[in-house]
Amino acid sequence: EMEKILRELGEERWAGRIAKAIARQRRMRPLKTTGDLVKVIQGAIPPYRTRIHPATRTFQALRLAVNEELSSLETFLRECPDLLKPGGRLGVISFHSLEDRIVKEYFRRWGKRGKGETPPFRILTAKPVPPSSEEIRFNPRARSAKLRAIEKNYEPIERGEYGGVRF
């Protein structure tokens, strides 16, 4: 199960190795600190040559799983069409490719028009908007952020299914 979480939620290339190393370590003695976990991860994979710390994806996957963040995001997005008034705008900032994929798919469906219909939403950002160099300089954690935005159209829209999305 650990390997699946690391692979799917952390998009971790070394998920199998890391999961086995964690299980092996836990059989010997429990991991009590994040530092203990970092040491196990670093020992399980080849030395890294990227800007990203080798434990980043593992911690991200564990956080997403424990907090059920993707499920919460989907729940929020399912409710949005009813919450926005015509002309209302929604901006979503994602920090992880899985989050961005979910937001992109919802926005794509909402912006799709049916035969002779006006789509319920207008996509304001054709591509995700990254942070500026200045923003990254003042807030380094923003470097992986992506902003997507939509606006609810003024045309009256009948309630029901539209583009696979209920509203």
Q: Name the range with the highest mean pLDDT among 51-60, 84-93, 108-117.
A: 84-93
Q: Is 41 exposed, middle or buried (0-12, 13-18, 19+ CB in 10 A)?
A: buried
122: which strand partners? 151
**What's the confidence (pLDDT) of residue 48?**
73
> What band does 92 get if pLDDT is binned at 50, 70 and 90?
very high
Domain residue extents for the chain: 2-67, 69-166
pLDDT score of 52: 79
Instruction: Write down the H helix ranges in the chain.
Output: 2-9, 15-28, 34-44, 56-67, 69-83, 97-110, 133-138
Measured from the Cβ of residue 153, the count of other Cβ atoms closer than 10 Å reads 17
Q: What was the pLDDT predicted at 29?
A: 92
Yes or no: domain 69-166 corresponds to CATH 3.10.20.590: no
- The CA distance from 158 to 149, in Å, is 23
Model-level pTM greater than 0.85? no
Pairing assessment for the beta strands 146-152 and 161-162 based on DSSP bridges: unpaired
pLDDT 10s digits, 133-143: 999 999 998 99
Per-residue confidence (pLDDT) for residue 160, from 0 to 100: 53
pLDDT of residue 167: 46
Most confident segment among 5-9, 145-149, 158-162: 145-149
Q: Rounded CA gap, 1 and 143, in Å?
A: 30
